[in-house]
Amino acid sequence: MDISALNAVAVAMVTPGKGILAADESTGTIKKRFDAIKVESTDQTRRDYREMLFRSDGMNCISGVILYDETIRQNAADGTPLVKLIERAGSIPGIKVDEGTQPLPGCAGETVTVGLDRLADRLAAYYAQGARFAKWRAVIDIDKDKIPSMTAVHVNAHALGRYAALCQAANIVPIVEPEVLMDGDHDIGRCFDVTRPVLNEVFRELRLQRVALEGMILKPNMVVSGKTCPVQAGVAEVAERTVQLLKECVPAAVPGIAFLSGGQSDEDATAHLDAINRLGPLPWKLTFSYGRALQAAPQRAWSGKAANVPAGQRAFTHRARMNALASRGQWTHELEKAA
């Protein structure tokens, strides 16, 4: 493990004014996205769509791209590996390595993320293919007072720790993603009260498994109201609660925090990131690692038609630039509407 090399990659991933594109949708997930825009999901259409993003001007605002196993192996229409397109754009290729979730025995309604078996071998192969960072997502649900159980919190944190240690042994920077879902009618206070022990348990496991904190990136949820909560917290409260949580739970040794969007609308994800960054200075660089909040607009603009590629690229570039501004605390509604 080369800690200085890991730290250099981690720092580059949170370069001010840049963020991470989560283009790691599984085949099943991207089919749902394509179904919504009436596009057949094939290896070619998936390749064409992602190639459109990787060749856009929006990549100037992207420090790294999380890829799916299929995508890291694909070539562009002209035969250029997609990994090379990302590198030529000045971004770092990364890879999703978890294999989804399974029901957690004894914990009804809760899951554990799987994929640790043979992960060391897979990481070595991904490194050879150009990946310099990886991602593993743990899913924590909120439902009444009994979920999440401490069992679910512990087993998912333990898996995140094992994954991160294996990544660093392979000289790959781990993105550690404990996501407390925003599904449900819970208020922002309940989100805070659940996310705090989740983060504390994650960092406990990272220390136990000797993960070098300076060679990783944290990808947490923001502290927000549940989607169906009748009272939605405002932007200022989301920012204040999120920063309070980070100060309580995240060691200063972590180079950066790249928030997930978690189902927020495009503009909400941008506004919240901007408000959080306006509360600095903070010990970490704070940026985005968005999937839907970067891609929903370009998917609609593209709609699977070659003639729409320029429109899709413009839509992606706009969202990337808005979030790049937010990562510096420089976004405004006026800039959003003027583009």
Q: How far is CA 27 from the centre of its chain?
A: 17
Q: Is 144 one of the catalytic residues?
A: no
CA nearest to 33, candidates 260, 303, 306: 303
Q: How far is CA 162 from the centre of its chain?
A: 19
Task: Spell out where the chain has E strands.
Answer: 19-23, 62-67, 92-96, 101-103, 111-113, 133-140, 173-180, 217-218, 256-259, 285-290
The catalytically annotated residue of 18, 96, 135, 219 is: 219
Question: How many whole angstroms separate alpha carbon 179 and alpha carbon 120?
Answer: 24
Backbone phi and psi for residue 174, each to the nearest 5 degrees, phi listed first: -85, 130
Question: How many whole angstroms separate alpha carbon 264 and alpha carbon 268?
Answer: 6
CA nearest to 141, candidates 261, 231, 262: 262
Backbone phi and psi for residue 111, each to the nearest 5 degrees, phi listed first: -130, 165
Written as six digits, the tokens of 317 are 């570039």
Q: Yes or no: say if 241 and 249 are a contact pair by the CB < 8 Å rule.
A: no
Q: Which residue has the tokens 């899951």?
A: 111
Question: How many whole angstroms separate alpha carbon 320 and alpha carbon 79?
Answer: 26
For the chain, how far is it from start to end, CA to CA, in angstroms? Answer: 44
So which residues are the catalytic ones? 219
